[in-house]
Amino acid sequence: WIIEDYSIDDVFTVIESADIEKDFYDFAVKSVDVKENVQMKITLFVKDGKCAIAFRWNHMVFDGGGFKQMIKDITDNYHRFRIGKTDQITFRTGTRKYNRVYEDMEHGDEAKKKYKKTFIKDSKALPYTKKTKEDEIFLIKRTLPNDVLVKMKEAGKECGGTLNDVFVSAYLRACYRLMECDRNDSVTISCAMDLRRYIKDVDSIGYTNHTNFMPCTVSKMGDSIRDTIKELSENTKALKADEFNGLHGLPLLNIGYNTMIYLQAEIVVKMVYYNANLQVTNMGVIGGERYQFDGHDITDAYLGGSAKYKPTSAVCVYTVADKLIYTQPLKGNEKDREVSEKLFDLIEEELRSL
């Protein structure tokens, strides 16, 4: 990273909006120009006393966990500003280094030797069209009411799984149906892991990336979603019990970036980070007291990672105001949008069947 001169106008804009949802969408589907001196854009849309704040950033700046840290800092700073404590406005300036994950571990030195990446390659993919230059970014979003969320929690408890296991099971079953693959074949979805779990004081680090992936695999579709939840939960228990879960392959990544030129390092990155066709990220709860803007709750949100090239399907799931929301950004065409909408229909159908 190179620090360049910039002004606040390069980063932040306020717009009086006639249609907040449309303006938000139009802002969100634009790409970040890697040649610009700033790699983040923030816009505040205002209409009739309501506000929406939109962020767009280079995915190398930080991951979902880093974004949640930043939102927390912004809401805290907004409160301090409102009560006149402008001298206490601050942002995290701690380390961005990947090896911070080892420092608090009992066997950190052993973790640094985990060169071999543990992933499961699965060539199965959703029936998207082939990539073309005409492909554009589009965003899919689905919101389900609290009663579905309640049923998911109950089903997870009954089947010995987590809320994440329930959603991933619905996603897996939707893929089986949409891909029309043999229901007795195995299917794997790569589930993002926040490696900040290994850092005792996450407030001591800066905004950065601390993400790896865990393979969530079932050997067959199963007769019902509860069957899928039970198998998935059982299959992931051993991975979750691994003291170094999510840390395998990181040392190889470090060697690549520190001993090779950029293009060579990119080859190593692709060896370490297999870009799975099916991915999911659970962002957890967004909102509540932790993210209030001076007493005002967040009522809705669109969160998503970088727009993926086909055939990668990267779904993001989270809760806002007791609602379940799942999203997907993708570069494609109208036929691809129809595939993604059908995927979301099937996920909803599976969840409502609980």
| Amino acid (1-letter code) at residue 103 | E
Q: Is the pLDDT of residue 268 over 90?
A: no
Gap between the Cα atoms of 98 and 95, Å rounded: 9
- The answer to whether residue 271 scores a pLDDT higher than 70 is no
Of the CA atoms within 13 Å of residue 266, those in its CB half-sphere come to 2
Task: Write down the mean pLDDT value for the chain.
Answer: 92
Q: What is the pLDDT of residues 152-200, one digit of tens each?
A: 999 999 999 999 999 999 999 999 999 988 999 999 999 999 999 999 9
Are 153 and 163 in contact, with CB atoms under 8 Å apart? yes
Q: What is the pTM of this model?
A: 0.93
Kindly list the distances between the CA atom of residue 56 and the CA atoms of 38, 64, 290, 291, 306, in Å, as whole numbers in the listed order.
Answer: 11, 12, 22, 19, 9
| Residue 307 in this model has a pLDDT that exceeds 80 | yes
pLDDT band at 289 (very low <50, low <70, confident <90, very high): confident
pLDDT digits (tens, 9 = 90+) for 126-155: 999 999 999 999 999 999 999 999 999 999
Percentage of the chain beyond pLDDT 70 is: 95
At 11 the three-state DSSP class reads helix
Q: Cα–Cα distance between 215 and 211 in angstroms, integer?
A: 13
Question: Sheet holding 40-47: strands in order across?
Answer: 12-16, 40-47, 50-57
What is the Cα–Cα distance from 36 to 209, expressed in whole angstroms? 20
Question: How many CB atoms lie under 10 A from the CB of residue 348?
Answer: 18
Q: Which tens digit of pLDDT belongs to each residue from 50-65?
A: 999 999 999 889 999 9
pLDDT at 274 over 80: no
Q: What is the Cα–Cα distance from 175 to 173, expressed in whole angstroms?
A: 5
> For residue 94, what pLDDT is reported?
93
d(CA 245, CA 233): 16
- What is the pLDDT, as a whole number, of residue 294? 87
**DSSP summary character for residue 95:** B
Percent of the chain with pLDDT over 90: 78
- For 128, other C-beta atoms within 10 Å of its C-beta total 22
Higher pLDDT, 119 or 207: 207
- Counting beta carbons within 10 angstroms of the beta carbon of residue 34, is it exposed (0 to 12), middle (13 to 18) or buried (19 or more)? exposed
- Whether the upstream peptide bond of residue 145 has omega within 30° of 0, thus cis, is no
CA–CA dist 94, 208 (Å, integer): 10
pLDDT at 270: 67
- Residue 136: per-residue pLDDT: 96
- Mean pLDDT score, 35-42: 91
